[in-house]
């Protein structure tokens, strides 16, 4: 094959205003590695092996690509074409963009790749690149590195293409089924990027249904909005055959519909493999001037129209997605700056390490204090309240909600027994179990008899109330511990996420293990002791309160009991079968009926009084206990102490050995700082260029 310098193409007349500036900026960003962080608009050339992709690239660029049918492309190749002024000679630059998984040394070695481009033998260049990427003499068949070929000449279009390895199903001695899966994974990773235009190359030499590329394109682009179909080798179809008709209808967008439509290109065949590029184009023009293909639009036929079409498509894609790309870059910059801030300045000496820990302490304390006080204005940490992360980091809200549920649960299930007035409502299989009042009073009478002292008949030993109350509040301990456990779950989450937010991963892990976890365990033990202290007077002591609600509750209970008995007596007097005629009733009879409504049984009366006193006291004690747990235990013993967990005083008291162990920097951390700084530099430079482009171009927002 003749060298590329000997190949000449017709001059492309149509170029779009500002198109080169647009493509140059995006390509510059890609060459600096921004595509590792943000998806950039691009055209990816996809097809099955032997679909003619290499011939397509050769026709577009004028540069010879290896075309053997066996596997040759084992990585993505980025082809950057630019038109240069007429007085400039053709220039070629070949480089490698290292994959994100490469170490720094590997990156340096790949970046230093500078092959001889005098004769521009792509076969030799690809072999050199394979060797440097580690694809020769090893089990590694494919990699994520990108071979970048930049060509600038007077006959080039303004266009950038990414050529991907060809898809295949069956293996042979050079490629296995496992290799097939790796190729598919690489190709699909490019296809599924929402800003990539898919150039799906289909060979007319093979059955359409047997080629994977359109199926894969439709899976990744279901509506066909960003796919352009390209039919190659139409000259291999028998004129007038059903196969020719099928591919013709495909080119008309009648079979597989793509929003960008289809294009047809005639490739070199074996007999014309050595002709010049101009001769190749002339043969193609003659072929499309007759037969079934002559009825298609000229914009769908031939390499010249394809160059213009691809340039227009890429240009539009860039301008359409530019606003979103800007947003993504800003987001990546913010994330990288946050990560770099967490790493802090380089810290090789004890002094630098201590300063870093002091910075972490101050930032951590401020975050925890804000979370405790309900000040969620730090959006970087607290985020959106509708998300799980934002929700669990709002610690004051978590505490308020948990204690509100604690209060509800204590009112609903804090008592051992629910005393009901109707025998039908007495169900012992409920929680708390329901007991009819009459039956409950029988048990109280037994307790009164067993605990008689010097009290008069009809009264009760005051200690009885304490015994009844102690039995009634038995669930308090279990319920309290359950909700305290929930609160500490929230504590651990917010502390860990706060320290991970302000410190690098290694330091955060060490601080969590050596300071946060022990401090949390100490707080948990302290609040457990406080719960025991708060429960003891209720479980072991005798009732004490000076709250007037006790007498109010007791009087209300007694009045309700008297009213119920009086109503029952009067209903029996007036509405019984032997009830009195209203006209014959005298006041003395009514008074007599009411008098009978009193409780003559002194033991029953004492049991009712003791029970009502216990119930009245329980209501007062429950409110006090819930408040005590919330204020004296949770607030005083836990919440107010959280901001002090990593105090500056504690950092200052650490010796140099402890400081080094906590904040010492690993080689990986140093490398990460360099990587983040470089990422920020690249992204910010790219952002400035794109912002200028955004101001100067009409943008079609998506």
Three-state SS for 386-408 is: CCHHHHHHCHHHHHHHHHHHHHH
Eight-class DSSP state of 48: B
**Has residue 572 got a pLDDT over 70?**
no
C-alpha to C-alpha distance for 441 and 104, rounded to whole angstroms? 83
Query: Are residues 448 and 318 located together in one domain of the fold?
Result: no
Whether residue 33 contacts residue 104, with contact meaning beta carbons closer than 8 Å, is answered with no
Residue 178 in domain: yes
How many distinct helices (H) and strands (E) make up the chain?
Answer: 25, 10
Residue 23 in domain: no
**Has residue 305 got a pLDDT over 50?**
yes
Query: Are residues 608 and 679 located together in one domain of the fold?
Result: no
Strands (E), 282-402: none
- Res 375: pLDDT: 94
- Res 534: pLDDT: 95
3-state secondary structure of 195: coil
For residue 509, the domain's CATH number is: 1.20.120.1240
- List, in sequence order, the alpha helices (H) in 503-601: 505-511, 517-539, 549-575, 587-595
pTM for this entry: 0.57
Mean pLDDT of 431-435: 87
Residue 586 in domain: no
C-alpha to C-alpha distance for 251 and 257, rounded to whole angstroms? 9
- Res 16: pLDDT: 43
Cβ density class 420-450: b for 16+ within 10 Å, e for less: beeeeebeeeeebebbbbeebbeebbebbee
Residue 115 in domain: yes
**Has residue 15 got a pLDDT over 60?**
no
**Has residue 369 got a pLDDT over 80?**
yes
- The pLDDT tens digits for 318-332 are 888 888 888 888 888
Query: Are residues 182 and 45 located together in one domain of the fold?
Result: yes
- Res 10: pLDDT: 35
- List, in sequence order, the alpha helices (H) in 374-455: 379-382, 388-393, 395-413, 437-450
Residue with the two structure tokens 């340096």: 108
Q: What domain range is 683 assigned to?
A: 667-697
Q: Which residues pair with 419 in a beta bridge?
A: 435
Q: Tell me the backbone φ, ψ of residue 520, rounded to 5 degrees.
A: -65, -40
Q: Is pLDDT larger for residue 553 or for residue 315?
A: 315
- Res 2: pLDDT: 39
Query: Could you give the percent of the chain with pLDDT greater than 70?
Result: 85
- The pLDDT tens digits for 26-63 are 777 777 667 777 778 888 898 888 888 888 888 888 77
- The pLDDT tens digits for 75-122 are 888 888 877 776 676 788 888 888 767 777 888 888 888 887 776 677
Give Cα 583 distance to the centre of its chain.
Answer: 83
**Has residue 595 got a pLDDT over 80?**
no
Residue 35 in domain: no
C-alpha to C-alpha distance for 260 and 225, rounded to whole angstroms? 7
Query: Are residues 685 and 649 located together in one domain of the fold?
Result: no
C-alpha to C-alpha distance for 528 and 484, rounded to whole angstroms? 9
- Number of residues that make up the chain: 702
Provide the number of structural domains found in the chain.
3
Q: Is pLDDT larger for residue 700 or for residue 152?
A: 152
Mean pLDDT of 509-525: 94
Q: What's the mean per-residue pLDDT of the chain?
A: 82
**Has residue 479 got a pLDDT over 90?**
yes
Query: Are residues 366 and 507 located together in one domain of the fold?
Result: yes
**Has residue 301 got a pLDDT over 60?**
yes
- Res 3: pLDDT: 39
Residue 86 in domain: yes
C-alpha to C-alpha distance for 132 and 126, rounded to whole angstroms? 10
Query: Are residues 127 and 160 located together in one domain of the fold?
Result: yes
Give Cα 206 distance to the centre of its chain.
Answer: 43
- Among 58-62, 224-228, 565-569, name the one with the lowest average pLDDT: 565-569
In 3D, which of 154, 29, 39 has the Cα closest to residue 91? 154
Query: Are residues 379 and 401 located together in one domain of the fold?
Result: yes
Residue with the two structure tokens 């020719």: 244
Query: Are residues 659 and 678 located together in one domain of the fold?
Result: no
Quick one: pLDDT band at residue 231, thresholds 50, 70, 90? very high
- Res 641: pLDDT: 95
Q: Is pLDDT larger for residue 241 or for residue 597?
A: 241
For residue 132, the domain's CATH number is: 3.40.50.300
Query: Are residues 370 and 305 located together in one domain of the fold?
Result: no
- Res 629: pLDDT: 96
Distance between terminal CA atoms of the chain?
45
**Has residue 8 got a pLDDT over 50?**
no
Q: Rg of the chain over CA atoms, in angstroms?
A: 42
3-state secondary structure of 76: strand
Q: Tell me the backbone φ, ψ of residue 110, rounded to 5 degrees.
A: -70, -35
Pairing of strands 146-153, 76-83: parallel
The burial class, CB within 10 Å (0-12 / 13-18 / 19+), for 344 is: buried
Quick one: pLDDT band at residue 582, thresholds 50, 70, 90? low
């Amino acid at each position: 094959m003749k060298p590329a310098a000997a190949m000449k193409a017709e001059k492309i007349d149509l170029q779009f205003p500002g198109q080169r500036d647009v493509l140059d900026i995006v390509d510059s960003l890609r060459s600096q590695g921004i595509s590792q962080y943000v998806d950039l608009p691009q055209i990816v050339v996809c097809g099955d092996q032997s679909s003619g992709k290499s011939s397509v690239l050769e026709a577009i660029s004028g540069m010879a690509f290896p075309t053997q049918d066996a596997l040759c492309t084992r990585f993505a190749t980025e082809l950057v074409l630019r038109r240069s002024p007429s007085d400039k000679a053709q220039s070629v630059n070949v480089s490698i963009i290292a994959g994100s998984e490469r170490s720094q040394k590997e990156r340096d070695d790949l970046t230093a790749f500078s092959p001889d481009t005098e004769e521009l033998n792509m076969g030799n260049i690809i072999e050199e690149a394979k060797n440097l990427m580690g694809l020769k003499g090893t089990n590694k068949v494919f990699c994520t590195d990108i071979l970048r070929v930049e060509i600038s000449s007077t006959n080039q279009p303004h266009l950038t293409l990414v050529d991907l390895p060809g898809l295949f199903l069956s293996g042979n001695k050079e490629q296995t089924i496992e290799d097939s899966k790796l190729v598919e994974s690489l190709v699909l990773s490019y296809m599924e990027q929402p800003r990539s235009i898919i150039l799906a190359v289909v060979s007319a030499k093979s059955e359409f249904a047997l080629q994977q590329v359109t199926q894969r394109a439709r899976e990744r682009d279901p509506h066909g909005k960003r796919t352009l179909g390209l039919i190659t080798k139409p000259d291999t179809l028998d004129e007038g055959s059903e196969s020719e008709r099928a591919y013709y209808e495909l080119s008309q967008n009648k079979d597989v519909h793509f929003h960008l439509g289809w294009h047809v290109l005639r490739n070199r065949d074996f007999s014309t493999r050595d002709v010049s590029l101009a001769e190749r184009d002339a043969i193609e023009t003659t072929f499309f001037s007759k037969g079934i293909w002559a009825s298609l639009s000229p914009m769908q036929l031939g390499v010249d129209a394809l160059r213009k079409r691809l340039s227009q498509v890429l240009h539009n894609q860039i301008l359409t997605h530019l606003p979103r790309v800007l947003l993504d870059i800003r987001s990546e910059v913010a994330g990288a700056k946050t990560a770099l801030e967490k790493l802090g300045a380089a810290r090789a000496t004890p002094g630098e390490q201590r300063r870093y820990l002091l910075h972490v302490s101050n930032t951590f304390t401020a975050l925890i204090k804000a979370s405790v006080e309900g000040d969620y204005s730090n959006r970087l940490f607290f985020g959106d309240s509708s998300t799980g992360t934002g929700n669990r980091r709002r610690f004051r809200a978590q505490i308020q909600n948990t204690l509100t549920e604690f209060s509800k649960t204590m009112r609903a299930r804090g008592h051992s027994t629910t005393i009901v007035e109707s025998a039908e409502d007495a169900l012992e299989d409920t929680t708390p179990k329901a007991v009819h009042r009459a039956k409950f009073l029988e048990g109280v009478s037994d307790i009164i008899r067993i605990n008689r002292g010097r009290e008069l008949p009809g009264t009760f030993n005051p200690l009885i109330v304490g015994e009844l109350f102690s039995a009634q509040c038995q669930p308090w301990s279990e319920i309290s511990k359950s909700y305290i456990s929930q609160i500490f779950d929230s504590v651990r989450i917010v502390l860990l996420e706060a320290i991970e937010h302000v410190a690098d991963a290694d330091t955060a892990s060490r601080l969590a293990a050596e300071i946060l976890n022990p401090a949390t365990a100490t707080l948990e033990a302290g609040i457990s002791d406080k719960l025991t202290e708060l429960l003891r007077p209720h479980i072991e002591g005798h009732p004490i309160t000076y709250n007037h609600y006790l007498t109010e509750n007791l009087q209300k209970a007694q009045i309700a009991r008297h009213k119920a008995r009086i109503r029952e007596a009067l209903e029996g007097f007036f509405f019984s079968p032997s009830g009195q005629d209203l006209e014959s009733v005298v006041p003395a009879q009514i008074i007599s009926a009411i008098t009978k409504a009193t409780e003559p049984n002194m033991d029953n009366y004492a049991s009712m009084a003791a029970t009502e006193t216990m119930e009245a006291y329980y209501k007062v004690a429950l409110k006090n206990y819930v408040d005590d747990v919330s204020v004296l235990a949770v607030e005083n013993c836990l919440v107010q102490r959280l901001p002090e967990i990593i105090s500056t005083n504690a950092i200052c008291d650490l010796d140099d050995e402890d400081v080094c162990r906590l904040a010492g920097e690993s080689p990986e951390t140093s490398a990460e700082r360099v990587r983040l700084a470089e990422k920020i530099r690249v992204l910010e430079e790219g952002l400035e260029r794109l912002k200028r482009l955004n101001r100067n171009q009409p943008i079609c927002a998506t």
